[in-house]
Amino acid sequence: AAAAMGLWALALLLGALRPGGASAPARNVLLLLADDGGFESGAYNNSAIQTPNLDALARRSVVFQNAFTSVSSCSPSRASILTGLPQHQNGMYGLHQDVHHFNSFDGVRSLPRLLSQARVRTGIIGKKHVGPEAVYPFDFAYTEENSSVLQVGRNITQIKALVRQFLQSQDERPFFLYVAFHDPHRCGHSQPQYGAFCEKFGNGESGMGWIPDWKPQLYRPEQVQVPHFVPDTPAARADLAAQYTTIGRMDQGIGLVLEELGHAGFHNSTLVIYTSDNGIPFPSGRTNLYRSGTAEPLLISSPEHTKRWGQVSQAFATLLDLTPTILDWFSIPYPSYSIFGTKRVQLTGKSLLPALESEQPWATAFSSQSHHEVTMYYPMRAIQHQQFRLIHNLNYKMPFPIDQDFYISPTFQDLLNRTRAGQPTHWNKTLHQYYYRDRWELFDCSRDPTESQNLAPDPRYAAIFQLLRTQLLKWQWDTGDPWVCAPDAVLEKKLSPQCRPLHNEL
């Protein structure tokens, strides 16, 4: 028995040795996710808002300037983050909750499944919003499925306690902890008593409850920075001011989580990633595949890659890169398998760890959206390559749909009222232009940062248009996109060519 124990100890020791021979410290990952967060932070040059904790994290991170979500909707984005597969490939075509009821395919090998199989302990605190459970299992879970989403997603004192509980119960395995804040999501549709962004939740006023660790920061409408794609109106400014207060709460929560990590002794072994699931919940933001709806903050802080701390990277990153990055950090290979038929699943994302060593030439990002709410069927596919963004609006003859949450927002109600009354909207487009889009939209984001001038019909850009269209189509085929032939053909896999024309006058 002693000999067997000795062999077992030797195996453990050898397992801990890297090829270089030096003993490898345990590696962990902490993923911090904002809910509908944007660039409202000092780290991204917004001087109107106070975000000391994000700013401090940025000083220990590579700050990505060209990071994009692959889909501008909550559940599809979270599923893409946790699988490395776009929504049309993982099956999470729209929102997971209630009547929407979208789920990923049973055969998908998600990040939490792969980590668990490789003996990495997994934890989630906050908003999960994906399913089924068998595809997204976590060893430690406090989410809307077993708790109040306000308590586990916005009450930063509760989040701090749950992070402490997770870290104190940590065994010898490495860990992946996913803290998914519900801030700064809108709240007027679900809990209007707490304000448009739940900015009053836990502020200590009568009936609002009290979050002991939160020191609310209040902003005046005239203080905020209005993004170029949001109407500059008193209503929108007041909306943004409320959003800033909830971003402040999340920022303080991030500070508490990182403090817990340090107290537990894990700060020198943990890769920390901060990003957001989709664009901000304003016109041209969330649910849109414009740059304004897909560009995300992305901070990656590695204790092993200190030489680029505080540096800005122009390399393109997408949230489809997070699964390959985390697998790379843990040295776990991606399995060979198929979801349907015999076609092998290939990750189209890449590990971002090389960008922590030196600047990378990456310059392409893909996006794919089919639904948000179940009624909001407006499939779009997009590619950003260098400064050019091409969007394919498959159902372009339909008006662009509006979600319930955004519809009742002060910003959108004001926009509707001004449009109906024929008053100036102080917006960079009309409601009609927003609803009715061209089939193909091509923008030069360097010359036209507001994405106002569609270059797709311009013959001078025909070569660029064709190049991007070809790249986009190849990605759709590579990722098994069921929409690859739409809207003017039908996919028939057993025929050649597979896209059979409909002659439907499109």
Helices 322-329, 74-83: crossing angle, 10 deg rounding: 30
| Catalytic residue flag (residue 74) | yes
* Six-digit token string for 251: 């920022």
The rounded distance, in Å, linking the Cα atoms of 55 and 57 is 5
The position carrying tokens 């001004």 is: 418
- Reduced DSSP (H G I as helix, E B as strand, rest coil) percent helix, strand, coil of the chain, to 5: 30, 15, 50
What is the DSSP secondary structure assignment for residue 146, as one 8-state letter? T
DSSP letters of 448-496? -TT-----TT-GGGHHHHHHHHHHHHHHHHHTT-TTTTTTTEEE-TTSS
The rounded distance, in Å, linking the Cα atoms of 287 and 279 is 8
Coil/strand/helix, residue 65: strand
Burial class from Cβ neighbours inside 10 Å (0-12, 13-18, 19+) for residue 377 reads middle
Residues 58, 298 contacting (CB under 8 angstroms): no
Burial class from Cβ neighbours inside 10 Å (0-12, 13-18, 19+) for residue 20 reads exposed
- Using the CB atoms, write b or e for 328-359: b if 16+ within 10 Å: bbbebeeeeeebeeeeebebbbbbbbebbeee
Omega before 487 within 30 of 0, i.e. cis: yes
**What are the distances in angstroms from CA 111 to CA 6, 17, 336, 471?**
34, 24, 14, 27
DSSP H helices in 264-409: 291-294, 322-329, 353-357, 404-407
The rounded distance, in Å, linking the Cα atoms of 335 and 345 is 9
Of 157, 161, 180, the residue nearest 96 (C-alpha): 180
- Using the CB atoms, write b or e for 414-425: b if 16+ within 10 Å: bbeebeeeeeeb
Strand partners, 499: 491
- Hey, what long-range contacts does 261-267 have (CB within 8 A, 24 or more apart)? 261/30, 261/163, 261/167, 263/164, 264/164, 264/167, 264/168, 264/170, 266/28, 266/167, 267/303
Residues 110, 116 contacting (CB under 8 angstroms): no
> Which residue among the candidates 74, 187, 198, 485 is catalytic per the annotation?
74
> Catalytic positions, please?
74
